[in-house]
A and B are shown apart, each in its own frame.
Chain A
């Protein structure tokens, strides 16, 4: 059994979080190398908050890893893994519920099933393919398919059994589709955190891309598995924004 560091009660060793209070249970103690970097909290007004040290080797972070993270109920107990070695920073989603989001700085390839955060919205991008006939030669009837290549869907919930609930959905056609609060092809007029014109989805030579249009609050893409990053990047973890700095 493992005793919770927060409430002291005993938990079976296979649990990652205390079954009584939800606090992260002791993660394997990683031998610590030299200080290599910091994860610095960026407050909503843009000023810097506290910092969490990052060491050579594997750094595992989540709710319970320290005062910067403890109060965020959207963080998993084991949320992010940051490996530092030979001057390289590798960010990995450590099996979190809500994911690790990277703030876009330049145009980014957009893959089928990509998850993004814009303002307060959680969105999924799905590739769409040209219509096909059924095996018996019948064409499936529907609204005109004007060359749609993708669909942007708002994610509005998750059922108890883990099924994602889709909300409003927009098909994407043409070379580029702009989204924003006031201007663009798709408007999120109810979200005050979306900029007037915020981001652009585009397709070139059959490949799809996402670009932030100098929005105030940024466009964030969920890291599918792991990613080599440069110090200076911004990460959205749970409800909080952090900046990765090297030392």
Chain B
């Protein structure tokens, strides 16, 4: 759990040493609220008093501005199925109890809302709990939903992986184009012919392609050092992190090599979840607990 100062004006968390809010610039820690402040209300969920300018209940976390009155977290123990938010320190922080039905997650919508996470689409995904079974559905989000591999997995060409901070697409290498003359009988000059078995494409923040790596062999290891592909600057990647093997049928076997932070695969449109699964939505790491 991070300690900091919550801005009275916009609820952004700023470092303890800050004197001005990093988002809206309002003074922190000062009680000189300009103009009349809205009257306090009582929380629709737990009944605690909420200062007028706050959007969320400080005791139970329910939204208090009338937009969505469902309790958000730390609700009653009526259900054991929940999403547990894992903090950057690896400790559990918030938990989102799930009842039967649909639970929307996003930056601006839903009960599972993270207003500060710009990697989330306004409406990102929906958790569907039905008869004790849980699914997550990607609601057409831009950045998708990623699930941590719990065992080696065979995936098709084009699968996106998150390894440390790296977003990497695994692709079959294009079939070799043999030299041929154009309509004037001229041959195209290009770099020498080097057959590849698999291609890794790194995507950068903002969507640009970064590194493209073509492997001549069937097996590629990825990590911080001494692998085929290394990201020495990535603090979240393990020394030997993941292995990718090109199979004869054009698919790939992905194996996490016991990394600290795991290897994540982008889930297709909808996937069933099981206890202990870990999901990444934007920057939020969520652990699934099924009751």
State how many angstroms separate the Cβ of A165 from the closest Cβ of chain B.
Answer: 6
Q: Is B107 touching A140 in the complex (CB atoms < 8 A)?
A: no
Nearest A residue (CB) for B106: A138
B122 within 8 A of A: yes
B204 within 8 A of A: yes
Do A151 and B184 contact each other (CB < 8 Å), given the known contacts A138-B142, A142-B204, A144-B165? no
Q: Is A158 touching B186 in the complex (CB atoms < 8 A)?
A: no
A66 within 8 A of B: no
Q: Is B142 touching A140 in the complex (CB atoms < 8 A)?
A: yes
Q: Is A98 touching B189 in the complex (CB atoms < 8 A)?
A: yes
Do A140 and B188 contact each other (CB < 8 Å), given the known contacts A165-B177, A167-B214? no
Residue numbers in B under 8 Å from A142 (CB-CB): 167, 202-208, 210
Residue numbers in A under 8 Å from B196 (CB-CB): 167
State how many angstroms separate the Cβ of B18 from the closest Cβ of chain A.
Answer: 23
- Among A23, A75, A169, which residue has its beta carbon within 8 angstroms of that of B212? A169
B209 within 8 A of A: yes
Q: Is B121 touching A138 in the complex (CB atoms < 8 A)?
A: yes
B39 within 8 A of A: no
State how many angstroms separate the Cβ of A62 from the closest Cβ of chain B.
Answer: 9
Residue numbers in B under 8 Å from A138 (CB-CB): 107, 118-122, 142-143
* A2 CA / B158 CA spacing, docked (Å): 51
Which B223-245 residues have C-beta < 8 A from chain A?
A: 231, 233-234
A198 within 8 A of B: no
* A63 CA / B184 CA spacing, docked (Å): 10
* A153 CA / B210 CA spacing, docked (Å): 10
Q: Is B142 touching A154 in the complex (CB atoms < 8 A)?
A: no
B151 within 8 A of A: no
Nearest A residue (CB) for B182: A97
B192 within 8 A of A: yes
Nearest B residue (CB) for A160: B180
* A17 CA / B185 CA spacing, docked (Å): 8
Residue numbers in A under 8 Å from B184 (CB-CB): 16-17, 22, 76-77, 97
Q: Which of A38-46, A125-133, A209-217 contacts B (4 or more CB under 8 A)?
A: A125-133
- Among B176, B181, B191, which residue has its beta carbon within 8 angstroms of that of A73? B181
* A146 CA / B214 CA spacing, docked (Å): 22
Do A145 and B186 contact each other (CB < 8 Å), given the known contacts A133-B118, A160-B180? no
Q: Is B204 touching A131 in the complex (CB atoms < 8 A)?
A: yes
B174 within 8 A of A: yes
Nearest B residue (CB) for A167: B214
B190 within 8 A of A: yes
State how many angstroms separate the Cβ of A60 from the closest Cβ of chain B.
Answer: 14
Contact with A along B106-150 (1 / 0, CB 8 A): 010000000000111110000000000000000000111000000
Do A153 and B212 contact each other (CB < 8 Å), given the known contacts A74-B186, A97-B182? yes
Nearest A residue (CB) for B202: A143
Q: Is B192 touching A136 in the complex (CB atoms < 8 A)?
A: no
State how many angstroms separate the Cβ of B10 from the closest Cβ of chain A.
Answer: 15
Contact with B along A136-162 (1 / 0, CB 8 A): 111111111110100101111111100
Residue numbers in B under 8 Å from A133 (CB-CB): 118
Chain B interface residues (CB < 8 Å from chain A): 107, 118-122, 142-144, 165-168, 174, 176-177, 180-194, 196, 202-214, 231, 233-234, 282
- What would be 17 A-B contacts, judged by CB atoms less than 8 Å apart? A17-B185, A22-B185, A74-B186, A74-B187, A97-B182, A120-B192, A122-B190, A131-B206, A137-B122, A142-B207, A143-B205, A143-B210, A145-B204, A151-B210, A158-B177, A167-B196, A170-B211
Q: A76-B184, A138-B107, A143-B166 are in contact. List 10 more A-B contacts (CB 8 A).
A: A17-B183, A21-B185, A73-B187, A137-B118, A142-B167, A151-B208, A151-B209, A155-B190, A156-B193, A166-B212
